[in-house]
């Protein structure tokens, strides 16, 4: 059984597509937990539903709270007059799912330190609470490809280290067809900034079609540590800046 918290260096960096890619390549039963879904109405598909669409496989999907406005979970909950999500609540949901799933993926909202409740608890606190229940969670960080990513990745890695949470690795959420100089240089610099391996680079636009095409893209874009065949050294060498 593996528990993997998926966070990002910010919002709209590709957390959902990376979560889907990891789920698509996993063997055995997989559960996807979204502690706080924001920016969608009651009947609209959320991030967990998008993971199911992309993978085309049978997954256990669970959402703990949903708020209509696209804001940080604490802010969205307060404005909607709805309850917030507490770390222990999330941890207990993870533990329940872990009983009969080989992989539990917990997708956060925004970055690692986005507030989920009025006391300022974050996804990191949820992972710590899960560890307190005897689980061994690690964190996968989804980063952008271009300028600014080294700083936000390093800050996220430092925040994890300060809390004693293991960083599984970094995945670039969207790799363009024509990467610029900064993007190509970042392939070598991101693992240094994170102090953890680069475990993949998903091609931009790979979410257009779910099912087999997406699974193929996931397999060739994620490293063996995440179930794929992607080679970080070869990919970096192929994009080395002149």
pLDDT in tens, 32-57: 999 999 999 888 999 999 999 999 99
**119 pLDDT tier (thresholds 50, 70, 90):** very high
The token duo for 155 is 């800050």
Closest CA to 5 of 172, 139, 164: 139
Half-sphere exposure (Cβ direction) of 222: Cα atoms closer than 13 Å: 26
- How large a percentage of the chain has pLDDT more than 70? 100
SS3 130: helix
State the Cα torsion 119-121-126-132 to the nearest 10°. Answer: -60
| Angle of the 47-55 helix axis to the 212-221 helix axis, nearest 10 | 90
Instruction: Determine the pLDDT at residue 240.
Output: 86
Instruction: Determine the pLDDT at residue 1.
Output: 67
Q: How many other C-beta atoms are found inside a 10 Å radius of the C-beta of residue 152?
A: 19
Instruction: Determine the pLDDT at residue 208.
Output: 84
What is the residue whose two structure tokens read 């300022």? 120
DSSP letter assigned to residue 226? G
Instruction: Determine the pLDDT at residue 48.
Output: 96
In this prediction, residues 106-128 reach a mean pLDDT of: 97
pLDDT tens digits, residue range 152-181?
999 999 999 999 999 999 999 999 999 999
Compute the mean pLDDT over every residue in the chain, rounded to the nearest whole number.
96
- How large a percentage of the chain has pLDDT more than 90? 95
CB 95 within 8 A of CB 66: no
Assign residue 99 a region (left: φ > 0; alpha: ψ between -120 and 50; beta: otherwise): alpha
Q: How many other C-beta atoms are found inside a 10 Å radius of the C-beta of residue 70?
A: 11
In this prediction, residues 94-115 reach a mean pLDDT of: 97
Q: How far apart are CA 148 and CA 128, in angstroms?
A: 28
Q: How far apart are CA 16 and CA 179, in angstroms?
A: 22
The token duo for 142 is 């989804």
**74 pLDDT tier (thresholds 50, 70, 90):** very high
Integer-rounded Cα Rg, in Å, for the chain is: 17
Instruction: Determine the pLDDT at residue 209.
Output: 84
Catalytic residue (choose from 15, 34, 101, 168): 34
**11 pLDDT tier (thresholds 50, 70, 90):** very high
Question: Is 15 an annotated catalytic residue?
Answer: no
Whether pLDDT at 241 is above 90:
no
């Amino acid at each position: 059984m593996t528990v993997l918290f998926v966070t990002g260096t910010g919002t709209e960096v590709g957390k959902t597509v990376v979560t889907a890619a990891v789920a698509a390549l996993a063997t055995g039963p997989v559960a996807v937990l979204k502690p706080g879904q924001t920016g969608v109405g009651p009947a609209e598909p959320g991030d967990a539903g998008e993971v199911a669409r992309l993978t085309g496989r049978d997954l256990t999907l669970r959402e703990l709270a949903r708020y209509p406005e696209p804001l940080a979970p604490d802010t969205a909950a307060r404005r909607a007059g709805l309850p917030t999500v507490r770390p222990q609540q999330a941890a207990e949901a993870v533990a329940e799912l872990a009983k009969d799933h080989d992989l539990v993926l917990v997708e956060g909202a925004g970055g690692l330190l986005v507030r989920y409740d009025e006391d300022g608890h974050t996804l990191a606190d949820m992972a710590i609470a899960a560890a307190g229940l005897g689980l061994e969670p690690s964190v996968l960080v989804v980063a952008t490809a271009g300028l600014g990513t080294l700083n936000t990745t390093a800050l996220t890695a430092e925040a994890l280290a300060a809390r004693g949470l293991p960083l599984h690795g970094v995945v670039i959420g969207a790799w363009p067809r024509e990467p610029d100089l900064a993007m190509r240089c970042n392939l070598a610099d991101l693992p240094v900034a994170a102090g953890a391996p680069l475990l993949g680079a998903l091609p931009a636009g790979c979410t257009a079609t779910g099912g087999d095409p997406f699974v193929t893209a996931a397999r060739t874009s994620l490293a063996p540590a995440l179930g794929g065949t992607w080679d970080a050294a070869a990919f970096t060498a192929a994009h080395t800046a002149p």
